[in-house]
Amino acid sequence: MYRRRRLVAAVLLVVVLGLIGGGAWALVRAASHSSAPARAADDAGPLTNPTASPTADGASSPAASDAPTSAPPATPTCDPAKIEVTAATDKPAYASTENPVLTLKVMNKNAIPCPVNVGTSQMEYLVMSGADRIFDSKDCQSDASDLVKTIAPGASETANFPWPRIRSTEGCKAVTVKPRPGIYVLTTSLGPLQSPKAVFKLD
């Protein structure tokens, strides 16, 4: 009887130890499963562009504040230095019975159309013989007026003045002496713009 009791006690001890071991192993496995996501989350790398914003197709684009800005292009303007005035005569020499035609030409050398006042208020034809002032179109000018024209790039406007081979003085005083045969120099002006000299001969 005593040996049976010891045998039963030994069997019960084995069963209890087996239950305790199985429970401990289950707890270990549960703990390992529950800690795996935490370790995976801890091992994740840092975000690569935290300031990027998603676009419509899911791609990332830089923040709007990082976009470069550019100034608007400057509006081109007319350069007065590129408005050219020249002087000319219709012939290089004139017989005693011929009257010269004096020409003022204004050309726009800007790359854009430019408004230019080509009115008689701006024009001047000056004829010289050495240091002698022979004729100035402003001496007896009347009814001078403005006339603004837009001249295209590379285009020009021309004004002709038939000179009746007479002298003039400031204030349009009468002059009876006529120009003599010889070499004469013409310059033309349009406001502040003055032409180079043009030489011609009177017989």
> Does residue 94 sit in helix, strand or coil?
strand
More reliable by pLDDT, 99 or 5: 99
Residue 10: pLDDT band with limits 50, 70, 90? very low
Residue 40 counted as domain residue: no
Q: How far is CA 30 from the centre of its chain?
A: 73
**Residues 22 and 88 placed together within one structural domain of the fold:** no
Residue 114 counted as domain residue: yes
Mean pLDDT of 118-129: 97
Residue 29 counted as domain residue: yes
CA angle 130/136/140 to nearest 5° reads: 150
Residue 74: pLDDT band with limits 50, 70, 90? confident
Residue 2 counted as domain residue: yes
Ranges 30-34, 92-96, 99-103: which has the least confidence: 30-34
Mean pLDDT of 96-113: 97
Does the pLDDT value for residue 103 go beyond 90? yes
Residue 59 counted as domain residue: no
> Does residue 110 sit in helix, strand or coil?
coil
Per the structure, the complete domain to which residue 23 belongs is given by 1-35
Tell me the pLDDT of the chain averaged across its residues.
Answer: 78
**Which two three-digit tokens encode residue 70?**
């550019």
pLDDT for 66 equals: 61
pLDDT for 63 equals: 52
Cα–Cα dist 99/90, whole Å: 10
Residue 52: pLDDT band with limits 50, 70, 90? very low
Q: In this prediction, what percent of the chain has a pLDDT beyond 70?
A: 65
Cα–Cα dist 193/83, whole Å: 8
Question: What is the per-residue DSSP string for 42-86?
Answer: HHPPPPS-TT-EE-TTS-EE--GGGS---PPPPPP---GGGEEEE
Residue 68: pLDDT band with limits 50, 70, 90? low
Ranges 21-30, 63-72, 150-159: which has the least confidence: 21-30
For the chain, the domain total comes to 2
Contacts of 79 (CB under 8 A, 6+ apart): 110
**Taking the C-alpha atoms of 43, 44, 49 and 55 in order, what is their torsion angle to the nearest 10 degrees?**
180
Residue 91 counted as domain residue: yes
**Residues 7 and 90 placed together within one structural domain of the fold:** no
pLDDT for 134 equals: 97
Per-residue pLDDT of 34-51, as tens digits, reads 444 444 444 444 444 444
Residue 165 counted as domain residue: yes
Does the pLDDT value for residue 128 go beyond 50? yes
> Does residue 194 sit in helix, strand or coil?
strand
**Residues 103 and 10 placed together within one structural domain of the fold:** no
User: 47: number of CA atoms within 13 Å, CB side?
Assistant: 6
